[in-house]
Homo-oligomer: A and B are copies of this chain.
Amino acid sequence: MTLSVGILIFQGFEVLDVFGPVELLATYPEHFEITMVAEQRGAIRSAQGPSCIAEEAIGDGRPYDMILVPGGQGTRTQVGNPAVMRWLQTQAVQAQWVTSVCTGSALLAKAGLLDGRKATSNKMSFKWVASQGPEVNWDYGARWVEDGNILTSSGVSAGMDMTLGLIANLHGEKAAEDAALWAEYSWHRDAATDPFAGAWENLHPA
């Protein structure tokens, strides 16, 4: 079975949050059909500068089997975007998997999708993200968190580790290892432990 994957992009999305997971999912086109979706179709400028194309609009109302929400400085604006909040809430009702990378978890939290759930986000912006979801059981130290059908990851590259974890869930460890090998990526397999949590704590002691 092929899962339709809707990847939300918006002005100021983080490129690696999107294209790390895309690289790995696309190893298996028979399993994952990837579509970039945004509030408006067309070119969407990333936080890093380059623009990518949204082929579908959230207003189209297409339901996806899986959604992926990246982070990036644009999340600061999107938490206040009612159209995006409604789209997330509508998708979450029927999607098999709801996933986010980095500060993308702030959007899931603000939409209320993480209430009563365990979740994580990137370390640098953790306080701001956590403030978007006071009813969430935030796990600061995790590389990624799976709670039911919702997966949230720590910062940027952690999205690749989470994606490999999802591939392993769905298609076995060997499929995840092969995807990592194809991308010559060293998979952090331990979801519970983010090697960067300590680094940020040292830089920015509480």
Binds B, one of A87-95, A128-136, A153-161: A153-161
How far is A183 from B160 in the complex, measured between Cα atoms in Å?
A: 11
- Is A157 in contact with B181, judged by CB distance below 8 angstroms? no
Residues of B within 8 A of A183 (CB): 16, 155-157
Residues of B within 8 A of A186 (CB): 157, 186, 188, 195
**A97 at the B interface (CB under 8 A):** no
Residues of B within 8 A of A55 (CB): 51
One of B20, B47, B154, B199 near A181 (C-beta < 8 A): B199
Closest chain-B Cβ to A155's Cβ sits at a distance in Å of 4
13 A-B Cβ contacts within 8 A?
A: A7-B50, A15-B19, A15-B23, A15-B26, A16-B20, A16-B183, A22-B48, A34-B49, A34-B50, A36-B50, A52-B53, A122-B184, A156-B185
For window 132-174 of A, CB contacts with B under 8 Å fall at 154-158
- Is A14 in contact with B22, judged by CB distance below 8 angstroms? no
Residues of B within 8 A of A16 (CB): 19-20, 22-23, 183
- Is A23 in contact with B184, judged by CB distance below 8 angstroms? no
How far is A158 from B199 in the complex, measured between Cα atoms in Å?
A: 23
Residues of B within 8 A of A52 (CB): 50-53
One of B26, B122, B181, B200 near A196 (C-beta < 8 A): B181
* Closest Cβ neighbor of A156 among chain B residues: B183
**A110 at the B interface (CB under 8 A):** no
* Closest Cβ neighbor of A20 among chain B residues: B16
Max chain B Cβ within 10 angstroms of own Cβ: one of A124, A181, A199 = A181
For window 83-128 of A, CB contacts with B under 8 Å fall at 122-124
Residues of B within 8 A of A122 (CB): 184
